[in-house]
Amino acid sequence: MPIGPSLKGVRLASLCGSIKPHFSGTEDYHTALLEALGGRGLEVEVIDRASWTLSGLPGLFRRVRRARPDAILVQYPTDAFARTLSIHAFALLQRSAPLVVTLHEFVAAHWLRRLSLGVLLARATTVVITAADEASQLCAWYPWLRPRVRVIPIGANTPQRTWRPAKRRKVVYFGQIRPEKGLEEFMAVQERMAAAGTDASFAIIGSYVPLFASYYNQIAGLAHERSIEIMTGLSPDAVADRLSEATLALLPYPDGASMRRSSLLAAAMCGVPIVTRTGSATPPELAALLEPAAGTAKMAALVASYLENPAALEAAHERSCQLAAMVSWDAIAAEYAAIITAATAGSRVRPDAPRPDAPRQVRGRDAAPGGAGPGRASMRASMTPRMSIAAAGPRAARNMIK
């Protein structure tokens, strides 16, 4: 039975956007989260648009109002939203329901995007952020947000598998094929080890990002020259199968491993030994499960030592299993359930506590900003008896007094 509060009868409008058939880590997170929340009885309407431009804003408002949500959840940034400011305008102007925003990136964001967050988050009842260091930086920019910020680590988007490495030793990279993901260092380690005569093969399991098509072509060209296999467009199940067959995963994140790295968690869910680097964003509980290496030479040496030492490889596998045990979508859903319950408290009639005589729930333009308190219609419905009688006329007044 799921831990935490039930969401039976609660309606959620969820905005993330989709770039299918292309891969999006944020979209995968969104899908897994809604599946976990659905197990608690939450009724979800996923709001998607062919275009998220400002010109489509009126249609977005209409679509959300039709959903009649008790709460609204927005993921940001996402590949579908890209650089548009329409989601900022929606968050600032909507009056349909309390707003919860999951912020997936702050430290790495351009300063202009950081500035724009003041608008996006201005009326959010809760801002969920996926790492403590990200929350600290966000609150340094926007101190007034501090009481509303909650840190909830991401979960793994990839199914769990038993680690069964193939006979031929293979080193894999997993993640989006785009800049600042460590692919250059992965290629450099492969080049160094090939020169040293390793018999291990190297492979890239990734996703093509249209915005970085030229970068993908560059990596693909180098991979072809060096006989590095590239696998793209795989389903989550296929990704898990390929990861579970790898001898180890080489994930040289430029800014270090953190709990918001879905590719790291995916490798752990498959029990794959992991070689990576740590940084300021690496929490102590994660650092304790890693044997980090900084720089191409040290990273290549660590990979080689794992490949030649079965005992060290098995120990690294055990650490990956411990990391996988720390990632639970049920626990993540429980925290979101508590947030949604708090956000909707007082703005909806709970199914387990009906009040037939209560004023109808107000939505749309009659609702108060952010769902915090009564709107114009609910204020009219809760007038004092004296005011209501005076406005009703003599005959109605007599009937009301009886």
Q: Judge if 304 and 179 occupy the same domain.
A: yes
Tokens of 274: 């992991």
In a domain, 358, yes or no: no
In a domain, 237, yes or no: yes
Q: Judge if 389 and 302 occupy the same domain.
A: no
Report pLDDT digits (tens) over 302-337: 999 999 999 999 999 999 999 988 877 888 999 999
Percentage of the chain exceeding pLDDT 90:
68
Q: Judge if 95 and 73 occupy the same domain.
A: yes
In a domain, 46, yes or no: yes
Write down the pTM of the prediction. 0.64
For residue 86, give Cα distances in angstroms to 94, 239, 304, 345: 12, 33, 49, 28
Residue 381 belongs to domain spanning? 372-401
Phi, psi values for residue 70, rounded to 5°: -85, -25
Q: Judge if 194 and 269 occupy the same domain.
A: yes
Report pLDDT digits (tens) over 165-213: 999 999 999 999 999 999 999 999 999 999 999 999 999 999 888 889 9
Q: Judge if 128 and 258 occupy the same domain.
A: no
Q: Judge if 23 and 90 occupy the same domain.
A: yes
In a domain, 361, yes or no: no
In a domain, 351, yes or no: no
Cis peptide before 147 (omega within 30 of 0): no
Residue 280 exposed, middle or buried by CB count within 10 Å (0-12, 13-18, 19+):
exposed
Report the sign of the C-alpha dihedral through residues 175, 177, 180, 185, in that order. Answer: positive
Q: Judge if 322 and 334 occupy the same domain.
A: no
**Separation between Cα atoms, residue 297 and residue 310, nearest integer Å:** 21
Q: What is the pLDDT of residue 140?
A: 97
Tokens of 176: 């989006």
In a domain, 161, yes or no: no
Residue stretches of the chain with pLDDT short of 50: 349-402
Q: What is the pLDDT of residue 1?
A: 55
Q: Judge if 313 and 216 occupy the same domain.
A: yes
Q: What is the pLDDT of residue 351?
A: 40
**Separation between Cα atoms, residue 46 and residue 183, nearest integer Å:** 33
Beta bridge partners of 248: 171
Q: Judge if 380 and 250 occupy the same domain.
A: no
Q: Judge if 238 and 334 occupy the same domain.
A: no
Q: What is the pLDDT of residue 260?
A: 83
In a domain, 6, yes or no: no
Give 216-233 as a DSSP string: HHHHHHHHHHTT-EEEES
Domain end point (choices 292, 326, 360):
326
Work out how many domains the chain is built from and give that number.
3
Closest CA to 60 of 43, 85, 23, 38: 85
Q: Judge if 184 and 259 occupy the same domain.
A: yes
* CATH number, position 20: 3.40.50.2000
**Separation between Cα atoms, residue 290 and residue 276, nearest integer Å:** 8
In a domain, 353, yes or no: no
Q: What is the pLDDT of residue 5?
A: 78
Q: Judge if 321 and 174 occupy the same domain.
A: yes
